[in-house]
Protein backbone atom coordinates (compact mmCIF):
# COMPACT_ATOMS: atom_id res chain seq x y z
CA UNK A 1 0.00 0.00 0.00
CA UNK A 2 1.37 3.42 -0.95
CA UNK A 3 2.37 5.81 1.81
CA UNK A 4 0.03 8.65 2.82
CA UNK A 5 2.24 11.20 1.09
CA UNK A 6 2.27 9.16 -2.07
CA UNK A 7 -1.52 8.82 -1.99
CA UNK A 8 -1.94 12.55 -1.45
CA UNK A 9 0.31 13.21 -4.41
CA UNK A 10 -1.81 10.88 -6.53
CA UNK A 11 -4.98 12.62 -5.38
CA UNK A 12 -3.66 15.91 -6.68
CA UNK A 13 -2.78 14.50 -10.08
CA UNK A 14 -4.84 15.53 -13.07
CA UNK A 15 -4.54 12.69 -15.57
CA UNK A 16 -7.14 14.01 -18.00
CA UNK A 17 -5.43 17.35 -18.44
CA UNK A 18 -4.56 18.08 -22.05
CA UNK A 19 -1.64 20.04 -23.42
CA UNK A 20 -2.15 22.47 -26.25
CA UNK A 21 -0.49 21.60 -29.54
CA UNK A 22 -0.19 23.86 -32.56
CA UNK A 23 -0.68 22.46 -36.04
CA UNK A 24 2.44 23.39 -38.00
CA UNK A 25 1.30 21.73 -41.18
CA UNK A 26 -1.59 19.62 -42.38
CA UNK A 27 -2.38 17.98 -45.71
CA UNK A 28 -4.04 14.93 -47.17
CA UNK A 29 -1.79 11.90 -47.66
CA UNK A 30 -4.40 9.48 -48.93
CA UNK A 31 -8.01 9.57 -50.07
CA UNK A 32 -9.34 9.84 -46.51
CA UNK A 33 -6.18 10.30 -44.51
CA UNK A 34 -4.86 13.61 -43.30
CA UNK A 35 -1.36 14.25 -42.07
CA UNK A 36 -0.78 16.65 -39.16
CA UNK A 37 2.55 18.03 -37.98
CA UNK A 38 2.24 19.37 -34.44
CA UNK A 39 4.28 21.10 -31.81
CA UNK A 40 3.44 21.27 -28.13
CA UNK A 41 2.76 24.85 -27.18
CA UNK A 42 5.02 24.73 -24.16
CA UNK A 43 7.87 23.96 -26.55
CA UNK A 44 8.63 20.61 -24.94
CA UNK A 45 9.22 17.46 -26.95
CA UNK A 46 6.49 14.84 -26.78
CA UNK A 47 9.11 12.38 -25.51
CA UNK A 48 7.61 9.25 -27.02
CA UNK A 49 8.89 5.87 -28.15
CA UNK A 50 8.22 4.72 -31.72
CA UNK A 51 4.87 2.89 -31.65
CA UNK A 52 3.22 4.80 -28.80
CA UNK A 53 -0.01 6.76 -29.15
CA UNK A 54 -1.54 9.99 -27.88
CA UNK A 55 -5.08 10.86 -26.86
CA UNK A 56 -6.12 13.71 -29.11
CA UNK A 57 -8.74 16.08 -27.75
CA UNK A 58 -11.18 18.49 -29.34
CA UNK A 59 -13.34 20.19 -26.72
CA UNK A 60 -16.95 19.36 -27.41
CA UNK A 61 -16.12 16.35 -29.55
CA UNK A 62 -14.16 14.30 -27.08
CA UNK A 63 -10.97 12.33 -27.41
CA UNK A 64 -9.54 9.63 -29.66
CA UNK A 65 -6.42 7.47 -29.49
CA UNK A 66 -4.10 8.28 -32.41
CA UNK A 67 -0.81 6.58 -33.34
CA UNK A 68 2.26 8.75 -33.49
CA UNK A 69 3.73 8.71 -36.98
CA UNK A 70 7.05 10.40 -36.29
CA UNK A 71 10.19 9.23 -34.59
CA UNK A 72 11.50 10.59 -31.30
CA UNK A 73 14.54 11.55 -33.34
CA UNK A 74 12.39 14.12 -35.17
CA UNK A 75 12.97 17.18 -33.04
CA UNK A 76 10.67 20.12 -32.55
CA UNK A 77 7.51 18.48 -33.82
CA UNK A 78 5.56 15.24 -33.95
CA UNK A 79 3.35 13.81 -36.68
CA UNK A 80 -0.03 12.13 -36.74
CA UNK A 81 -2.04 10.70 -39.59
CA UNK A 82 -5.76 10.26 -39.18
CA UNK A 83 -8.37 8.56 -41.32
CA UNK A 84 -11.79 10.15 -41.48
CA UNK A 85 -14.18 7.54 -40.08
CA UNK A 86 -16.33 8.97 -37.29
CA UNK A 87 -17.59 12.11 -35.58
CA UNK A 88 -14.27 12.98 -33.97
CA UNK A 89 -12.07 12.35 -36.98
CA UNK A 90 -14.48 14.18 -39.31
CA UNK A 91 -14.16 17.22 -37.07
CA UNK A 92 -10.40 16.82 -36.88
CA UNK A 93 -10.14 16.86 -40.66
CA UNK A 94 -11.53 20.41 -40.60
CA UNK A 95 -8.43 21.49 -38.68
CA UNK A 96 -5.49 22.92 -40.56
CA UNK A 97 -2.26 24.84 -40.29
CA UNK A 98 -2.25 27.31 -37.40
CA UNK A 99 -5.08 25.66 -35.46
CA UNK A 100 -4.69 24.34 -31.94
CA UNK A 101 -5.79 20.98 -30.55
CA UNK A 102 -5.36 19.17 -27.25
CA UNK A 103 -3.04 16.26 -26.61
CA UNK A 104 -2.35 13.97 -23.69
CA UNK A 105 0.16 11.21 -23.54
CA UNK A 106 2.16 9.58 -24.99
CA UNK A 107 0.69 6.31 -23.74
CA UNK A 108 1.44 2.63 -24.03
CA UNK A 109 4.46 0.60 -24.87
CA UNK A 110 6.19 1.17 -28.17
CA UNK A 111 8.23 -1.08 -30.44
CA UNK A 112 11.06 -2.84 -28.60
CA UNK A 113 13.78 -0.96 -30.48
CA UNK A 114 16.43 -1.71 -27.87
CA UNK A 115 15.76 -5.44 -28.04
CA UNK A 116 15.98 -5.18 -31.81
CA UNK A 117 19.58 -3.89 -31.65
CA UNK A 118 21.78 -5.81 -34.05
CA UNK A 119 18.94 -7.77 -35.58
CA UNK A 120 17.67 -7.69 -39.14
CA UNK A 121 14.30 -6.00 -39.36
CA UNK A 122 11.40 -6.99 -41.58
CA UNK A 123 8.61 -4.43 -41.48
CA UNK A 124 5.23 -5.52 -42.80
CA UNK A 125 2.55 -2.86 -43.06
CA UNK A 126 -1.02 -3.03 -44.28
CA UNK A 127 -3.14 0.04 -45.02
CA UNK A 128 -3.26 2.45 -42.11
CA UNK A 129 -0.80 0.24 -40.23
CA UNK A 130 1.91 2.21 -42.00
CA UNK A 131 1.24 5.16 -39.65
CA UNK A 132 2.78 3.72 -36.47
CA UNK A 133 5.36 1.93 -38.63
CA UNK A 134 6.50 5.27 -40.04
CA UNK A 135 7.70 6.17 -36.53
CA UNK A 136 9.82 3.03 -36.51
CA UNK A 137 11.08 3.44 -40.08
CA UNK A 138 12.19 7.01 -39.38
CA UNK A 139 13.81 5.90 -36.12
CA UNK A 140 15.71 3.14 -37.89
CA UNK A 141 16.90 5.48 -40.64
CA UNK A 142 18.48 7.80 -38.06
CA UNK A 143 19.97 4.91 -36.07
CA UNK A 144 20.60 2.82 -39.14
CA UNK A 145 23.87 1.19 -38.03
CA UNK A 146 22.22 -0.23 -34.91
CA UNK A 147 20.38 -2.69 -37.11
CA UNK A 148 21.20 -5.33 -39.68
CA UNK A 149 19.34 -5.63 -42.96
CA UNK A 150 16.12 -3.67 -43.11
CA UNK A 151 13.29 -4.68 -45.40
CA UNK A 152 9.87 -3.10 -45.74
CA UNK A 153 6.82 -4.77 -47.24
CA UNK A 154 3.76 -2.63 -47.77
CA UNK A 155 0.31 -3.62 -48.85
CA UNK A 156 -2.86 -1.71 -49.54
CA UNK A 157 -6.06 -2.06 -51.51
CA UNK A 158 -5.26 0.19 -54.48
CA UNK A 159 -2.18 2.23 -55.47
CA UNK A 160 -4.04 5.45 -54.57
CA UNK A 161 -4.34 4.29 -50.98
CA UNK A 162 -0.64 3.98 -50.41
CA UNK A 163 0.10 6.47 -47.64
CA UNK A 164 2.96 8.95 -47.56
CA UNK A 165 3.39 8.63 -51.36
CA UNK A 166 6.43 10.87 -51.82
CA UNK A 167 8.13 9.75 -48.65
CA UNK A 168 7.51 6.09 -49.49
CA UNK A 169 9.05 6.62 -52.91
CA UNK A 170 12.11 8.03 -51.17
CA UNK A 171 12.35 4.95 -48.96
CA UNK A 172 12.10 2.83 -52.08
CA UNK A 173 15.14 4.60 -53.58
CA UNK A 174 17.34 4.30 -50.52
CA UNK A 175 20.25 1.93 -50.69
CA UNK A 176 20.18 0.90 -47.04
CA UNK A 177 16.56 -0.27 -47.14
CA UNK A 178 14.92 -2.85 -49.30
CA UNK A 179 11.31 -2.10 -49.98
CA UNK A 180 8.50 -3.85 -51.79
CA UNK A 181 4.87 -2.91 -52.30
CA UNK A 182 1.81 -4.81 -53.32
CA UNK A 183 -1.78 -3.78 -54.02
CA UNK A 184 -4.93 -5.88 -53.99
CA UNK A 185 -6.12 -4.21 -57.16
CA UNK A 186 -3.82 -2.46 -59.65
CA UNK A 187 -4.56 0.53 -61.86
CA UNK A 188 -3.02 1.35 -65.25
CA UNK A 189 0.04 3.06 -63.85
CA UNK A 190 0.91 0.40 -61.28
CA UNK A 191 4.00 -1.60 -62.16
CA UNK A 192 4.50 -3.40 -58.83
CA UNK A 193 3.09 -6.56 -57.33
CA UNK A 194 -0.57 -7.42 -57.26
CA UNK A 195 -2.00 -9.60 -54.50
CA UNK A 196 -2.34 -9.71 -50.74
CA UNK A 197 0.73 -9.00 -48.64
CA UNK A 198 1.27 -12.59 -47.60
CA UNK A 199 2.23 -13.38 -51.20
CA UNK A 200 5.41 -11.34 -50.69
CA UNK A 201 6.56 -13.11 -47.55
CA UNK A 202 7.67 -16.50 -48.91
CA UNK A 203 10.08 -14.67 -51.24
CA UNK A 204 11.84 -12.47 -48.68
CA UNK A 205 15.44 -13.29 -48.00
CA UNK A 206 15.95 -13.50 -44.25
CA UNK A 207 17.83 -15.44 -41.61
CA UNK A 208 14.85 -16.19 -39.36
CA UNK A 209 16.60 -16.38 -35.97
CA UNK A 210 18.35 -13.07 -36.68
CA UNK A 211 15.20 -11.27 -37.76
CA UNK A 212 12.62 -9.19 -35.97
CA UNK A 213 9.38 -8.94 -37.93
CA UNK A 214 7.18 -5.94 -37.12
CA UNK A 215 3.63 -6.26 -38.41
CA UNK A 216 0.91 -3.62 -38.28
CA UNK A 217 -2.29 -3.65 -40.25
CA UNK A 218 -5.94 -4.69 -40.17
CA UNK A 219 -6.67 -7.67 -37.87
CA UNK A 220 -7.19 -10.15 -40.64
CA UNK A 221 -3.98 -9.10 -42.42
CA UNK A 222 -1.96 -9.51 -39.22
CA UNK A 223 -3.46 -12.93 -38.63
CA UNK A 224 -2.40 -14.31 -42.00
CA UNK A 225 0.94 -12.52 -41.98
CA UNK A 226 1.80 -14.22 -38.70
CA UNK A 227 1.04 -17.60 -40.24
CA UNK A 228 3.42 -16.83 -43.11
CA UNK A 229 6.12 -15.54 -40.77
CA UNK A 230 5.90 -18.61 -38.58
CA UNK A 231 6.24 -20.73 -41.72
CA UNK A 232 9.41 -18.75 -42.41
CA UNK A 233 10.55 -19.94 -38.95
CA UNK A 234 10.81 -16.51 -37.35
CA UNK A 235 10.73 -17.11 -33.57
CA UNK A 236 7.45 -16.14 -31.88
CA UNK A 237 9.09 -13.62 -29.57
CA UNK A 238 10.60 -11.83 -32.57
CA UNK A 239 7.26 -11.22 -34.24
CA UNK A 240 6.04 -7.81 -33.08
CA UNK A 241 2.50 -6.51 -33.57
CA UNK A 242 0.63 -3.32 -32.74
CA UNK A 243 -3.07 -3.63 -31.99
CA UNK A 244 -5.91 -1.25 -32.61
CA UNK A 245 -8.41 -1.00 -29.77
CA UNK A 246 -10.93 1.53 -28.57
CA UNK A 247 -8.97 3.37 -25.88
CA UNK A 248 -11.14 5.82 -24.01
CA UNK A 249 -8.94 6.76 -21.07
CA UNK A 250 -5.40 5.64 -21.89
CA UNK A 251 -4.93 5.03 -18.18
CA UNK A 252 -5.71 1.33 -17.90
CA UNK A 253 -9.10 1.82 -16.25
CA UNK A 254 -12.05 2.33 -18.59
CA UNK A 255 -12.04 -1.22 -19.91
CA UNK A 256 -12.72 -0.58 -23.59
CA UNK A 257 -9.34 -1.73 -24.89
CA UNK A 258 -9.15 -4.83 -22.72
CA UNK A 259 -8.11 -8.17 -24.19
CA UNK A 260 -8.67 -10.83 -21.58
CA UNK A 261 -6.74 -9.57 -18.55
CA UNK A 262 -4.65 -7.01 -20.42
CA UNK A 263 -5.29 -3.32 -20.97
CA UNK A 264 -3.90 -2.64 -24.44
CA UNK A 265 -3.42 1.08 -23.66
CA UNK A 266 -0.95 0.24 -20.89
CA UNK A 267 0.59 -3.13 -21.71
CA UNK A 268 0.38 -2.56 -25.49
CA UNK A 269 -0.44 -1.47 -28.11
CA UNK A 270 2.78 -3.23 -29.12
CA UNK A 271 3.02 -6.92 -28.24
CA UNK A 272 5.12 -9.82 -29.34
CA UNK A 273 3.25 -12.75 -30.84
CA UNK A 274 4.55 -14.75 -27.92
CA UNK A 275 2.56 -12.54 -25.53
CA UNK A 276 -0.60 -12.69 -27.61
CA UNK A 277 -0.83 -16.30 -28.68
CA UNK A 278 -2.11 -17.38 -25.26
CA UNK A 279 -5.22 -15.26 -25.69
CA UNK A 280 -7.87 -17.74 -26.52
CA UNK A 281 -10.72 -16.04 -28.28
CA UNK A 282 -10.94 -12.33 -28.65
CA UNK A 283 -7.68 -12.09 -30.48
CA UNK A 284 -7.22 -14.99 -32.72
CA UNK A 285 -10.73 -15.67 -33.97
CA UNK A 286 -11.01 -12.17 -35.35
CA UNK A 287 -7.40 -11.79 -36.30
CA UNK A 288 -5.55 -9.42 -34.05
Partner 1 sequence: MKYAIINKKDLNKWVEHLMKKARLYGPKKKENLFVFRPVKDPEEISLTYIPTILPPKKYYFPQKEKLIKFNAETFTEEKGTRDPEEFILFGVHTCDIAGIQCMDVVFRENPADPYYLSRKSKMTIIGIECMKYCDTIASCTSMGNHVPRGGYDLMMVDIGDSFILHVNSEKGENLVKNLRYIREAEEEDMAALSRAREEKEKVFKNELKAPLSKIYEAFDGSFKSPVWEDVGRRCVGCGNCTASCPTCYCYDVVDDMELDLTNGTRYRIWNSCQMDDFAKVAGGEDFRKGRDSRQRHRYYRKFKYPVDKFNRYFCTGCGRCTRACVADIKLPETVNSIIDDHRSKNAV
Nearer to partner 1, 38 or 234 (CB): 38
Question: Which of 24, 61, 109, 196 forms a contact with partner 1 (CB under 8 A)?
Answer: 61
Question: Is the CB of residue 20 less than 8 Å from the CB of residue 105?
Answer: no
Letter string b/e over residues 118-142, b meaning 16 or more CB atoms within 10 A of that residue's CB = ebbbbbbbbbbbbbbbbbbbbbbbe
Question: Which of 40, 204, 230, 251 forms a contact with partner 1 (CB under 8 A)?
Answer: 251
Site for partner 1 in 72-101 (CB under 8 A): 83, 85-86, 89, 100
Q: Which residues pair with 126 in a beta bridge?
A: 155
Nearer to partner 1, 12 or 175 (CB): 12
Give the binding-site size for partner 1 (rule: CB under 8 A): 49
Query: Could you give the CA distance from residue 234 to residue 213 in angstroms, rounded to a whole number?
Result: 8
Give the nearest distance from C-beta 224 to partner 1 in angstroms.
Answer: 15
Phi, psi of 46 (to 5 degrees): -65, -35
Nearer to partner 1, 84 or 232 (CB): 84
Angle at 287 between CA 231 and CA 69, to 5 degrees: 95
Site for partner 1 in 225-244 (CB under 8 A): 244
Give the nearest distance from C-beta 238 to partner 1 in angstroms.
Answer: 25
Site for partner 1 in 125-184 (CB under 8 A): 128
Nearer to partner 1, 90 or 274 (CB): 90
Question: Which of 23, 146, 254, 277 forms a contact with partner 1 (CB under 8 A)?
Answer: 254
Give the nearest distance from C-beta 118 to partner 1 in angstroms.
Answer: 32
Nearer to partner 1, 178 or 248 (CB): 248
Asked whether position 102 contacts partner 1 by CB under 8 A, the answer is yes
Query: Could you give the CA distance from residue 189 to residue 98 in angstroms, rounded to a whole number?
Result: 36
Tell which residue, 208, 260, 252, 259, has the closest CA to residue 229.
208
Query: Could you give the CA distance from residue 150 to residue 63 in angstroms, rounded to a whole number?
Result: 35
Query: Could you give the CA distance from residue 130 to residue 81 in angstroms, rounded to a whole number?
Result: 10
Binding mask 10-39 for partner 1 (x = CB under 8 A): xxxxxxxxx-x-------------------
Return the half-sphere exposure (C-beta side, CA atoms, 13 A cut-off) of residue 228: 20
Q: Which helix (H) or strand (E) holds 211?
A: strand 211-216
Asked whether position 202 contacts partner 1 by CB under 8 A, the answer is no
Residues that bind partner 1 (CB under 8 A): 1-2, 7, 10-18, 20, 57, 59-64, 83, 85-86, 89, 100, 102, 128, 218-219, 244-246, 248-249, 251-261, 280-282, 286
Amino acid sequence: MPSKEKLREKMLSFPHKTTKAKILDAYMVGTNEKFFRLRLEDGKELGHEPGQFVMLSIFGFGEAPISIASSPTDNGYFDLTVRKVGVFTNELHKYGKGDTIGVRGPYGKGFPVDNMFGYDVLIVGGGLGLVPLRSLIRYIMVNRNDFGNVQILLGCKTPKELLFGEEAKDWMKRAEIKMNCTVDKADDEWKGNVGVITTLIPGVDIIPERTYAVVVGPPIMMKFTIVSLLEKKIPEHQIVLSLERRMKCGLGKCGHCQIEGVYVCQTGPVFTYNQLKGFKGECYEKGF
